[in-house]
């Protein structure tokens, strides 16, 4: 540097160095913002899934209530739809209600929606739950759970999948770890919830059906 100031070359070099520093700072800020946003979305997703598990637990435990037949609950071949049957009013044991849990993806809003279908008109004690027309006029359709996920597309697999399992005859399932002296059943439903990314392990919850 000369005593009378900077040369044009020195100014240009200083300007380039300053620009590089600014670019690096902006890239760092962008990366931090992206990680922060993704962490927030991941937390929201996990919260929605956990709340969904609680809702499903309440709905699924209706299965077999007042009837206790092993045919009161079943799943479809792809395990993404669950059918159940129960008697809503024990004072009227001939009036059955049939329900189904089925999903649909909204690729525009990036939402997974789990619907609760209900049918009490075409529902009987011996009705095969899978044969009910869940889209007819006797069926009500209401969104039960909505989960936002930026990766949702029309063909994205279901977030929730259901598995109905039976224990050995000498074993029983009791919910919440309650004493074996309390009522227990031999059938339980395991609900798997997919993580937001394929690398994340599925969340799993088992629901004991006391009446089956």
- Is pLDDT at 33 greater than 60 in this prediction? yes
pLDDT digits (tens, 9 = 90+) for 101-152: 999 999 999 999 999 999 888 899 999 999 988 876 677 777 899 998 888 8
Residue with tokens 């209530």: 65
Q: Specify the pLDDT at position 60.
A: 94
* Per-residue pLDDT, 86: 94
Instruction: Kindly state the greatest CA–CA separation across the chain.
Output: 103
Task: Name beta bridge partners: 40.
Answer: none
Taking residues 165-191, report their average pLDDT.
75
Percent over 90 (pLDDT), the chain:
36
Mean pLDDT, range 37-58, rounded to an integer? 83
**Residues 115, 139: contact at Cβ < 8 Å?**
no
Backbone φ, ψ for residue 206 (5° rounding): -105, 135
Residue 17: band (very low, low, confident or very high) from pLDDT cuts 50, 70, 90: confident
């Amino acid at each position: 540097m000369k005593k009378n100031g900077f040369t044009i070359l020195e100014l240009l070099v200083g300007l380039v160095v300053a620009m590089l520093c600014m670019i690096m700072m902006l890239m760092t800020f962008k990366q931090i913002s992206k990680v922060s946003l993704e962490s927030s979305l991941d937390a929201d997703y996990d919260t929605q899934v956990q709340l969904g598990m609680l809702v499903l637990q309440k709905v699924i435990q209706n299965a077999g209530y007042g009837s206790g037949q092993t045919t009161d609950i079943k799943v479809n071949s792809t395990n993404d739809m669950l059918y159940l049957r129960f008697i809503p009013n024990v004072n009227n044991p001939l009036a059955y209600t049939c329900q189904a849990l089925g999903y649909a993806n909204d690729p525009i809003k990036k939402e997974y929606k789990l619907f609760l279908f209900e049918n009490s008109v075409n529902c009987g004690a011996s009705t095969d739950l899978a044969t009910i027309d869940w889209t007819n006029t006797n069926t009500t359709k209401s969104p039960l759970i909505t989960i936002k996920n930026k990766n949702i597309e029309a063909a994205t697999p279901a977030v929730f999948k259901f598995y109905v399992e039976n224990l050995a005859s000498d074993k029983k399932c009791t919910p919440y770890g309650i004493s074996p002296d309390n009522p227990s059943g031999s059938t339980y439903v395991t609900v798997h919830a997919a993580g937001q990314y394929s690398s994340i392990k599925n969340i799993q919850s088992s629901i004991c059906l006391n009446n089956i």
